[in-house]
């Protein structure tokens, strides 16, 4: 294994608390006791990380006598920070990630991470089929490859909605934690409510037990949704569904694709085809039906956004108990759009906070995050982030 920790002082150069204090002093943030307390917890984890040294290398013949099952590697407990949307969880975790002098670290959106895991499992099975490996169980070698790349894993807005993810998490993280993985995650759902009402949830519950064993579970009780303060009201989310909304979407699309050829396109992905009804350059236009009433998942949305950084979505309906699958897909779509700072133009039956008419189960918890993200997507700061990432002009249609 490579070296995990940078050499030098066992103390971080600047703690999360110091960074937070500086932002408050500059007027960029308001004093928040809950954030201050959470910053102190991150600082304690930083000290634990920086005090830990890599394990000694085994002898040259160690492999000869080693058991097939890897020895458990000791590691500090991670953190699972949960609370309402827009409370500053992501900001604090980003400060922590930047300060963690751990060479092998990875910050990822959970859905993107799991798409990577499933791809690795698929490749391992292809090797098994081709006779290139005799290891029938793909999970241990996949966990080994992941831990070789990153011992510290940071997930923003951790949520579990996909049954394929739910069924594998316990085994995957059992292997990762045994190998010394340190998990830091933010969520708006406490662990006991993860994958609530999900299919075959009993097979998922051992993962919750693993979390409680290897990760400190901490609520963030800030009362302010700071994302709401960023809403500039830029007209990129049209509601209700009226002829005027359709005309506004058409006008924005014409401005976006001016001078470009508009065609339907097809994306080949994992042996399937994803149809893009209208595309021009880095912009694509879909209906809600195209994206959320068809069997698409987070990995499909990631693939779509690898081709386009401006997305138009027409005719988002009210979401109720009769549209539970569509609601889950819409949540995943917005998560993916937000995490990749993609511009979103949409027309909907109602304002974001009124779209979900039946708040029940996991979707009720997670849709609060969706509402907050749809609001932030309309902010000037978000559009500036998009421009910085993709280097194009921002259309404030």
Each residue's pLDDT tens digit, 158-191: 888 888 889 999 999 999 999 999 999 998 788 9
Residue pair 313/286 in contact by the 8 Å Cβ criterion: yes
Cα–chain center distance at 168 = 17
Please report the pLDDT score of residue 101 as a whole number.
87
Please report the pLDDT score of residue 28 as a whole number.
82
Residue 335: name the closest of 95, 79, 110, 116 by CA. 110
Residue pair 290/277 in contact by the 8 Å Cβ criterion: yes
Cα–chain center distance at 140 = 23
Q: Locate the domains of the chain by residue range.
A: 16-219, 228-390
- For residues 27 and 167, what is the distance between their CA atoms, to the nearest angstrom? 45
Instruction: Give the domain 228-390 fold.
Output: Rossmann fold (3.40.50)
The list of the chain residues with pLDDT below 50 reads 1-2, 5-12, 55-67, 393-397
Please report the pLDDT score of residue 59 as a whole number.
42
In the sheet with 78-82, reading across from the earlier edge strand, the strands are 105-109, 152-156, 182-187, 78-82, 215-219
* Element of type H or E holding 106: strand 105-109
Please report the pLDDT score of residue 33 as a whole number.
86
Q: Residue 353 to residues 73, 156, 221: CA-CA distances in angstroms?
A: 45, 22, 21
Instruction: Give the domain 16-219 fold.
Output: Rossmann fold (3.40.50)
What the block records as the tokens of 113 is 């991470």
Exposure pattern of 355-372 as b/e (b: 16+ CB <10 Å)? bbeeeeebbebbbbbbbb
pTM summary value: 0.62
123: phi then psi, degrees, rounded to nearest 5: -65, -40
SS3 percent helix, strand, coil of the chain, rounded to 5, is 45, 15, 35
Each residue's pLDDT tens digit, 30-45: 888 888 888 999 999 9
Map tokens 């798409």 to a residue: 115
Which residues partner with 310 through β-bridges?
283, 343
Evaluate the omega torsion of the peptide bond into residue 240 and state whether it is cis, within 30 degrees of 0.
yes
What the block records as the tokens of 207 is 């993962």
- For residues 324 and 347, what is the distance between their CA atoms, to the nearest angstrom? 20
In the chain, count of helices (H) and strands (E)?
Answer: 14, 11
What the block records as the tokens of 63 is 């492999």
The alpha-carbon radius of gyration of the chain (Å, integer) is: 22
User: Looking at residue 200, what DSSP letter applies?
Assistant: T
Task: Note whether 16-219 and 228-390 share their fold.
Answer: yes
197: phi then psi, degrees, rounded to nearest 5: 65, 15
* DSSP characters over 139-199: HHHHHHHHHHH-SEEEEES-----HHHHHHHHHHHHHHHHTT-EEEEEESS-GGGTTTT-T
Q: Which long-range contacts (CB under 8 A, 24 or more apart) does 369-372 make?
A: 369/85, 369/157, 369/159, 369/188, 369/331, 369/335, 370/330, 370/331, 370/334, 370/335, 371/85, 372/85, 372/86, 372/225, 372/227, 372/228
Residue pair 342/309 in contact by the 8 Å Cβ criterion: yes
Which residues partner with 356 through β-bridges?
319
Please report the pLDDT score of residue 230 as a whole number.
54
């Amino acid at each position: 294994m490579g070296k995990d920790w940078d050499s030098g002082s066992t103390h971080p150069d600047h703690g999360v608390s110091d960074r937070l204090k500086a932002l408050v002093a500059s007027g960029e943030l308001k004093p928040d006791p809950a954030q201050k307390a959470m910053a102190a917890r991150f600082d304690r984890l930083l000290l634990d990380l920086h005090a830990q040294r890599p394990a000694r290398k085994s002898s040259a013949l160690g492999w000869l006598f080693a058991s097939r099952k890897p020895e458990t590697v000791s590691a500090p407990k991670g953190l699972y920070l949960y609370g309402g949307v827009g409370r500053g969880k992501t900001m604090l975790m980003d400060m922590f990630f930047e300060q963690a002098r751990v060479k092998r670290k990875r910050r990822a959106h959970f859905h993107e991470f799991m798409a990577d895991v499933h791809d690795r499992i698929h490749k391992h099975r292809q090797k098994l089929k081709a006779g290139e490996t005799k290891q029938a169980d793909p999970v241990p070698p996949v966990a080994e490859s992941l831990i070789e790349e990153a011992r510290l894993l940071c997930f923003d807005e951790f949520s579990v909605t996909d049954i394929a993810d739910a069924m594998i998490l316990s085994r995957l993280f059992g292997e990762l934690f045994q190998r010394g993985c340190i998990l830091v995650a933010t969520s708006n759902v406490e662990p006991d409510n993860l994958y609530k009402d999900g299919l075959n949830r009993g097979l998922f519950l051992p993962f919750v037990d693993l979390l409680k064993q290897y990760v400190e579970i901490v609520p963030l009780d800030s009362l302010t949704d700071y994302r709401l303060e960023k809403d500039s009201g830029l007209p990129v989310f049209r509601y209700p569904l009226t002829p005027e909304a359709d005309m506004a979407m058409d006008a924005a699309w014409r401005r976006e694709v001016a001078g470009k050829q508009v065609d339907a396109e097809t994306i080949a992905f994992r042996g399937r085809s994803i149809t893009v009804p209208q595309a021009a350059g880095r912009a694509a236009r879909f209906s809600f039906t195209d994206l959320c009433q068809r069997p698409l998942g987070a990995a499909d949305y990631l693939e779509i956004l690898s081709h386009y950084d401006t997305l138009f979505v027409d005719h988002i309906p009210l979401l109720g108990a009769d549209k539970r699958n569509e609601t889950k897909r819409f949540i995943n779509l917005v998560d993916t759009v937000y995490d990749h700072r993609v511009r979103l133009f949409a027309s909907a039956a109602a304002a974001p906070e009124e779209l979900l008419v039946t708040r029940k189960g996991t979707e009720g918890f997670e849709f609060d995050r969706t509402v907050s993200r749809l609001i932030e997507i309309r902010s000037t700061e978000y559009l500036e982030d998009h421009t910085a990432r993709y280097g194009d002009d921002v259309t404030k249609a």
